Chain A
């Protein structure tokens, strides 16, 4: 009788051992699954970020094209291609990228070019995106806005050097998305007798780069009045063109 009772206890212990073995295996599987899921989420967020980065590049390239004289529907065509390419790839699931070009003033088809005479110039593109990723691994929606704006601000003064000649200073500020930015190319013009002239070595032309998006162009020329119209034409480091005109006043 006692032996039968003992055998029952041993069976219970054996059952506990087996249960603990099974539980250990189960915990191990869960832990491995958790790690893999975390890494997968990292990969997914990287992928979504890469789509956003590609959208930004496409908008910048399109604005560079349009501001340099390209067709006004370039932005729409490029984004259509980009969305189509994304839709054709099955990465983490089915991808759908929708975009809307801003059409409220001052934008038209996502573009605003304002190269004014008051010392301000703007080249801007604005589009909103909605990226939907649905598949076995994830179901994610992500919306973002791309507002790419190159701003040019210029002011100018001149001072008389002698009877005929004046030194003209043009201060140029270049901004990308309201942050100081570098210019790839700067060309200065001044208006004399209805002709736009470019100052060169004969005008002692110098261009000083302050390294913070501010440039000082300086040249010597002859004009009969106290003021002269100046114009700055800039291509920023992203290839986006912008220009602004201002009146150089005597100091």
Chain B
């Protein structure tokens, strides 16, 4: 009688393990959650691209000169192939500065990451801008 009870308990424990294991297997087949490290890495790549562009005051000069196409071209070169981006520039009071959209493709429906960059110009009248770069991996 006791032996049968023990066997049943063992079977029950195995069943419990089987259920847990099945759950693990099933969760592995779910669509993967957003890869946070990949997103963070993209944020880092974006910040580094803006830092490179801002070295020698180039980014500030481009904004002052309203060279939106040049900014887009520079980001196309500095960001890796396969990254969609959208850049928005605000002045220190929060007003939108770029009169044209600065982007290489639409970010709709993609897992986007946003980077905020503070920029000051080297011009005789120093201007300050808040640059927001949104990026996503294509495909």
Taking a contact as CB atoms under 8 Å apart, the answer to whether B118 and A61 are in contact is no
Which single residue of chain A is at the shortest CB-CB distance from B57? Answer: A57
Cβ of A86 and Cβ of B125 under 8 Å apart? no
Residues of chain B within 8 A (CB-CB) of A68 are 124
Q: How far is the CA of A197 from the CA of B24 in the complex (A)?
A: 87
Taking CB atoms, residues of chain A closer than 8 Å to B119 are 54, 57
B22 within 8 Å of A (CB atoms) = no
Given known pairs A53-B55, A64-B124, the reply for A43 and B47 (CB within 8 Å) is: yes
Give the distance in Å from the alpha carbon of A223 to the alpha carbon of B14 in the complex. 109
What per-residue 1/0 map shows which CB atoms of B1-26 lie under 8 Å from chain A? 01100110110011001001100100
Of B48, B55, B122, most A-chain CB atoms within 10 Å: B122
Contact A21 B21 (CB under 8 A): yes
Q: Mark A43-81, 1 if CB is under 8 A from B, else 0.
A: 100110111011101101110110010100000001001
Chain A residues in 8 Å Cβ range of B118: 50-51, 54, 85-86, 89
Shortest distance from the beta carbon of B92 to any chain A beta carbon, whole Å: 5
Judge whether A65 and B6 touch: CB under 8 Å: no
Give the segment of B38-46, B81-89, B98-106 that binds chain A: B38-46
Measured CA separation A82–B60 after assembly (Å): 14
Residue A138 is within 8 A (CB to CB) of chain B in the complex: no
Which of A32-40, A108-116, A164-172, A224-232 is found at the contact surface with chain B? A32-40
Find the A residue at minimum CB distance from B14.
A14
Q: Are A7 and B37 in contact (CB under 8 A)?
A: no
Is A43 in contact with B40, judged by CB distance below 8 angstroms? yes
Which residues of the partner chain A approach B73 to less than 8 Å between Cβ atoms? none
Question: Which among B2, B118, B120 has the greatest number of chain A C-beta atoms within 10 A?
Answer: B120
Mark out the residues of chain B between 104 and 121 whose CB falls within 8 Å of any chain A CB in the assembled complex: 116-121
User: Which residues on A sit within 8 Å (CB–CB) of B3?
Assistant: 3-4, 7
Task: Given A7-B9, A50-B117, decide whether A61 and B17 contact each other with a Cβ distance below 8 A.
Answer: no
Nearest residue, chain B, Cβ from A25? B24
Smallest CB gap from B6: residue in A:
A7
**Cβ-based interface call for B71 (8 A):** no
Candidate in A61, A64, A70 with the most chain B CB atoms within 10 angstroms: A61
Let me know if B36 is at the binding interface, CB within 8 A. yes
Determine whether the beta carbon of B122 is less than 8 Å from that of A64.
yes
Asked if B123 is an interface residue, CB under 8 A from chain A, the answer is yes
Q: Is A159 at the interface (CB under 8 A from chain B)?
A: no
CB distance from B94 to the nearest CB of A (A): 10
Q: Are A85 and B117 in contact (CB under 8 A)?
A: no
At the interface, yes or no: A132 with Cβ under 8 Å from chain B?
no
Q: Judging by beta carbons under 8 Å apart, are B122 and A60 in contact? A: yes
Minimum CB–CB distance for B51 against chain A, Å: 6
A165→B48 CA distance, assembly (Å):
57
Contacts A/B (CB < 8 Å), 19 sampled: A7-B3, A7-B7, A11-B10, A14-B10, A18-B20, A36-B40, A42-B40, A46-B47, A46-B48, A46-B51, A50-B51, A50-B117, A54-B120, A60-B57, A61-B123, A61-B124, A89-B118, A89-B130, A239-B123
